[in-house]
Amino acid sequence: MLLPSPLLPGKLVRRYQRFLADVLLENGAMVTAHCPNSGSMKGCGNPGSEVLLSVANDPKRRCPYTWQLVRVGRIWVGINTLFANRLVAEGIHLGLVPELAGYGLLRREVHFGAHTRFDLSLTNGDAPCFVEVKNVTLVEKGVAYFPDAVTRRGTRHLVELMRARAEGYRAVVFFVVQKSDARLVRPAVHIDPVYAATLRLAVAHGVECFAYVAAVSRRSIQLAGRIPCELALAVGEKAPSPLGGGDRSQRTTHTDGRLR
């Protein structure tokens, strides 16, 4: 996926109100950019960080600048959560996601029930496969964690994926790590234990869990390969209850995200 061009370099001054960021451009201008990420952006929002902004030509936009990338150490990180869905759709189209190959029709933002929309639906003349995509930017010592802030919405998506699976559909949660130094993905039990427990429960009920790391440069972002989803409890970690219910997270986990 090609990034918008040109991208303007600058230094992050501050991020505030979740969706706004003040950036000092190389030409000395101070601008306010839209931040397309509702998470905490832990590790990616430090003042003074190098950032890249795109510029919209739409005169109706109050904020023409959009924050797209941030440099963390030597690595560019994609912070735009909307790109995750596009990367998965593009990866499926290009044959980069063999686990989701063989489907003839891909649809986006598909309704399931009265109050739920899944990011992607894949069909091939039979029951659809529902895919919920999650963007990941929090990486510590090679381990990518999701979420980076408490997410009731994300937990609700897992519950709906379980419901879809119970009704006979294939259901997938797909983590896209837009930071290339990640070697595996874990649920962030230290940030949102309810989400972590619900993810484990969902996988125990047949929801599939995939994670891919992306190669991010100043010009493009592309899925680079699959990495393991590690859902087993760490040594000494207690298992919280998902949504107040029982938990099956004492089981160990295959690298494909299935419990045993």
Instruction: Give the dihedral sign, CA 42/76/97/85.
Output: positive
Peptide bond into 228 cis (omega under 30): no
Q: What are phi and psi of 237, to 5 degrees?
A: -80, 135
pLDDT of 144 reads 98
Distance between CA atoms of residues 247 and 173, nearest Å:
18
Q: What is 82-244's CATH number?
A: 3.40.1350.60
Residues in the chain: 260
Q: How far is CA 195 from CA 72, 157, 189, 200, in A?
A: 26, 10, 8, 9
Distance between CA atoms of residues 76 and 68, nearest Å:
10
pLDDT of 232 reads 78
* C-beta of residue 84 within 8 angstroms of C-beta of residue 133: yes
pLDDT of 249 reads 37
Bridge-based pairing state of the strands 129-136 and 138-140: unpaired
* C-beta of residue 108 within 8 angstroms of C-beta of residue 118: no
Range list for CATH 2.40.50.580 in the chain: 8-77
pLDDT of 238 reads 63
Q: Which CATH class is domain 8-77?
A: mainly beta
Question: Could you report the per-residue pLDDT of 116-169, keeping only the tens digit for each?
Answer: 899 999 998 788 999 999 999 999 999 999 999 999 999 999 999 999 999 999
Range list for CATH 3.40.1350.60 in the chain: 82-244
Q: What is the pLDDT along the chain (260 residues), one digit of tens a residue?
A: 999 999 999 999 999 999 999 999 999 999 999 999 999 999 999 999 999 999 998 888 888 999 999 999 999 999 999 999 999 999 999 999 999 999 989 999 999 987 889 999 999 878 899 999 999 999 999 999 999 999 999 999 999 999 999 999 999 999 999 999 999 999 999 999 999 999 999 999 999 999 999 999 999 999 999 999 999 765 555 656 666 444 433 333 444 454 43
**DSSP run (H or E) holding 9:** strand 8-16
pLDDT of 168 reads 94
pLDDT of 246 reads 41
